[in-house]
Amino acid sequence: MIERTGYVPNLLAKGLSENRTNIVAAIVPTISHSIFADVLSGLSDALEVRNHRLLISNSGYCLEREETLLGELLAQRPAGIVLIGQDHTQQTVDMLRRAGVPVVELLEIDKQPVDMCVGFSNYQAVYQLTRGLIARGYRNIGFIAAPFEANDRVRRRHAGYADAMAEAKLRTEPGWHRVAGFSYKEGARAFGELIREHDEVEVVVTNDLLAVAGILECQRHGVRVPDDLAICGFEDMEITAMLHPPLTTVRIRRYEIGRLAGQLILDRLAGAETAQDTIDVGFELIWRQSTR
């Protein structure tokens, strides 16, 4: 009958009347990185179950942009808010507090969340990874990272690396640290420079995308992995297992993080008391043949 008459309910009116929508707003640095795309997939699938929709904006790795976007998104009266990381402007935090809806911060859990958070400790992940490398006999350990600004996850990872190195009293040359944008080209450049200028480096800690570029760049230059240079990624992209050699990396459950975030929001909306404000989904060190 409804489909015959072509009647379409108006959720704007419903939302206005009920003072509650079925829209969850998510702000991510970019939609185009597999890590965020996967998180959003999980989030979308979880929300779907209770007929909630996902409104997505990208901040382009800019906290001021995140703040502006949040202000505009709040006008949509979202039923919940999802952000990446735990680093936000004070204004952002204030708005989140006043919003009066569930807020979930994803992919980092080292700070007390504004409301709730789902993720893992980037610090612990790379701290453990670095300790594992040291235990395997590596001494000269380099670090190639995405830009630090507006990216607390990378900053925490670097802190984990630095602390593990300091504890083991290992030196770290400034030249062993590189910043590379999130692209294969940038990765190839950074690895190329490192290989040329610092062949004393035995292993590089970085993220999966840059690590893949690194392995390919090593192949190009005849640098043997892991004998001449070992490489560790971070994320566990599917391709890493198929490379030659397969990549040592840190597995993080991206889809699951998104899914849990959606569930937390739905539970809260259903009136459930939140058992815990922080969900640590952990990480897993995957030792493969790109390290000895």
Partner DNA sequence: TTGTAAGCGTTATCAC
Partner DNA sequence: GTGATAACGCTTACAA
Among 51, 90, 112, 276, binds a copy of itself (CB under 8 A): 51
Q: Which of 129, 204, 243, 261 binds a copy of itself (CB under 8 A)?
A: 243
5 binds DNA, rule: CB under 7 A: no
Restricted to residues 17-46, the positions that interact with DNA (CB under 7 A) are: 17-19
Looking at beta carbons only, is 19 or 51 nearer to DNA? 19
Q: Which does 272 bind (CB under 5 to 8 A by kind): DNA, a copy of itself, none?
A: none
> Which alpha helices (H) appear in 50-89, and where do they start and end?
63-74
Using the contact rule CB under 7 A, the part of the chain among 6-14, 28-36, 129-137, 222-230 near DNA is 6-14
Q: Which is nearer to a copy of itself, 184 or 287 (CB)?
A: 184
Contact stretch for DNA (CB under 7 A) within 5-13, 58-66, 86-94, 109-117: 5-13
- 58: tokens are 């990208």
Distance set, CA 202 to CA 19, 163, 224 (Å) = 59, 18, 11
Residues 168, 162: Cα–Cα separation, whole Å: 10
Beta strands in the chain (DSSP E): 23-28, 53-58, 80-84, 103-106, 116-119, 141-145, 177-179, 203-205, 230-232, 249-251, 278-280, 284-286
Which is nearest to 231 in space by CA: 125, 128, 113, 142?
142
Which of a copy of itself, DNA, none does residue 58 bind to, with CB < 5 to 8 Å depending on kind? a copy of itself
What backbone torsions phi and psi does residue 80 show, to the nearest 5 degrees?
A: -165, 160
Region of 14-22, 125-133, 140-148, 157-165 interacting with a copy of itself (CB under 8 A):
14-22
Q: Is 10 in the site for DNA (CB under 7 A)?
A: yes
Polymer length in residues for the chain? 292
Identify the residue among 162, 170, 216, 269 touching a copy of itself (CB under 8 A): 216
Query: Toward a copy of itself, which CB reaches closer, 188 or 223?
Result: 188
The sheet with strand 203-205 has its strands ordered as 177-179, 141-145, 203-205, 230-232
Q: How far apart (Å, rounded) are the C-alpha atoms in residues 147 and 158?
A: 11
Residue 212 is a binding residue for a copy of itself (CB under 8 A): yes
Q: Where on the chain is the footprint of DNA (CB under 7 A)?
A: 8-10, 13-14, 16-19
